[in-house]
Copies of this chain bind each other. A is one copy, B any other.
Amino acid sequence: MASTATTLKGQPLDKAALESMLRRRMFYTPSFEIYGGVSGLYDYGPPGCSLQANIVDAWRKHFILEEDMLEVDCSVLTPHEVLKTSGHVDKFADWMCKDPKNGEILRADHFVEDVLELRLRGDKEARGLKIEEKEEDAKKKKKKTKGQEAVKLEDAVVQEYEEILAQIDNYNGQQLGDLIIKHDLKNPATGTSIGPSSNLPGYLRPETAQGQFLNFAKLLEFNTGSMPFASASIGKSYRNEISPRAGLLRVREFLMAEIEHYVDPEGHKKHHRFHEVEDIELVLLDRDTQLSGKTTVKKVAIGQAVKSGLVDNETLGYFLARIHLFLKKIGVDQSKIRFRQHMANEMAHYACDCWDAELLTSTGWVECVGCADRSAYDLTVHAKKTGAPLIVRERLDEPRVIEEWDVEIEKKKFGPFYKKDGKTIESAILTTSQEQRGVLAKEMEANGKVVVDVPGVKDGKVEVSKDLLAIKWIKRTENTREYTPNVIEPSFGIGRILYSLIEHNYWTRGSDGGDEARSVLSFPPSIAPTKVLIVPLSSNKDFAPFTRKLSQKLRAAGLSSRIDDSSATIGKRYSRNDELGTPFGITIDFQTLKDNTVTLRERDSTRQVRASEDEIIAAIKSLVEGNKTWQDTETELPIFEGQELEIR
């Protein structure tokens, strides 16, 4: 589902230029590159590392601190038994297909997706339409295009392909196999040799969630037993991507931030702060739309979406809105976000509803945040496996009177009567439902005996007489209530968000009538890797003490800065920092030495104001904390012109 990518200013995105800039500025770089690299592994250089830290910091404030979540840091190494119980060992078995020619093994869904996209590409070319840029380096692109002639398809075929792609995540293995045969799909990637690589050991966690679940009982106790509450964790997780590609979007090692919100399943999972977010409008792509082969979205207030049943419950809806607010805060382009509901086959079997926050990038819509209602699944399976009581015990305000059918077995006679089958028959009786017991009670009253279904014993039917079994309607009083909480899980892929954020905030001065070669990353000041660039006018020794002092003052004010006292022109130095996304620049000139004033430059407009050092620092602090806009600053401090004419 690729689409024509645009910059922040709406111009076509030159992916090659962006990637070259990211490499040059060391946002990230392939790991172990001097050893030839390992696919799917990346190192973050200083600006990437700082950007990542700022996103994580914003996340911690927006979620953990805002809602008093319990943050934990759990082991990455995980025993096989834990992941077997959680279902990961089985779940992570993807449907694969094998190229009979070269024996290459490929993920079946990726294979179908690749071939159909390629054919649609060939069709567009044949029709003389503009072809969207895909995430591939020039070399690969060439090879890939080579594999496909420009062949026009019938309109009906184009539509069928597009419908398949819209629901590609909803096919099971058999269906993928059928598609491959029906459409005669063949491996075009003769040049690429991305085969399955050495497996990751099973005991590197695939998500931070399991560590949180295993600590549920302790966390509940730490929270003095009160519900609802949430735990949260930020840490690395690992997946054995068969064919890592697409840069930071599909990697083997990645930073996750996950919340597990534990909620009482009774009472429709209300959330006490839902009213704060109910009017927030989200762009939704629902399950039914996708199943009909379309990708039409609708904008709906979350309150309405929950009311109509489109989003399953308030707690899930609350987090969808909070996720939206978070992504907006860190600088996601509001025209490039949608929430896509999972289709039935796509969703884990235990989940009752799941939505992904997807961001539009040059590789299409990318799943960046998942928000699932995992029901009681995880806590239940771990409790069952280990015997640990992963439940909530609540004292009831008023004792609860329960009336129900009870079965009583006359043990002394029962065992000797049925001998070796006794246990099996007893177990079959004890697991009968209330409804079945009602029927059996009537039967017993009428006949003095009942016939019970016991698979595996005799012909599957066993007679039990009333001297061996009593079935009574009883009344009992409960003072406490026990339940397994349900879990709502917002789960963030930090690397994917980081990459999307870069694309969303990238543009070139060309779109403003300036130099097309000058790139800018317009991160919001709070997220920008460095807040201030300090630029002495020249390498004159007199500037050094002032530069040092200013850098110390900024540090004391909690503002990160870097000094560029290289011999490059002011314009070149600012240009370099536009590429790093540094929102503010301070120039120190000869006037500064006389009257302690400096100029402050804003990255996006390249406009400047001039005032005393302390006024400028205060202005930057307000701008970074989001209390003021650049417009405010221009009205409060004198505009400065000159000096930087060369920049645009």
Contacts and interface: CB of A to CB of B under 8 A. Distances in A.
A626 to B, nearest CB: 13
Interface string A69-84: 0111111111101100
Contacts of A34: 214, 217, 382, 386, 388, 390
A41 interface: yes
Interface stretch (A44-52, A303-311, A392-400, A536-544): A44-52
Interface in A451-499: none
Contacts of A253: 75-77
A222 interface: yes
Contacts of A26: 218-219, 221-222
B566 A45 contact: no
Given A34-B382, A222-B26, A76 B236 contact: yes
Given A65-B560, A214-B32, A222 B79 contact: no
Interface in A419-439: none
A142 interface: no
A29 B45 CA distance: 34
Nearest to A225: B566
B555 A77 contact: no
Contact of A35 (B76, B82, B224): B82
A226 B70 CA distance: 44
Contacts of A65: 555, 560
Nearest to A34: B388
Interface string A56-97: 000000000110101111111111011000000000000000
Contact of A218 (B45, B50, B52, B560): B45
A553 to B, nearest CB: 13
A75 B43 contact: yes
Q: How many copies does the complex hold?
A: 2
A213 to B, nearest CB: 10
A38 interface: yes
Interface string A343-381: 000000000000000000000000000000000000000
A389 B81 CA distance: 46
A44 B76 CA distance: 12
Nearest to A61: B555
Which residue among A31, A66, A386, A563 has the maximum number of chain B CB atoms within 10 Å of its CB?
A31
Interface string A154-171: 000000000000000000
Contact of A79 (B32, B66, B562): B32
Interface of A: 25-26, 29, 31-35, 38, 41-46, 48-50, 52-53, 65-66, 68, 70-79, 81-82, 200-201, 211, 214-215, 217-219, 221-222, 224, 235-236, 238, 252-253, 382, 385-386, 388, 390, 555, 560, 562-564, 566
Those 5 A-B pairs whose CB atoms lie nearest each other, nearest first: A34-B388, A31-B75, A43-B74, A44-B73, A41-B75
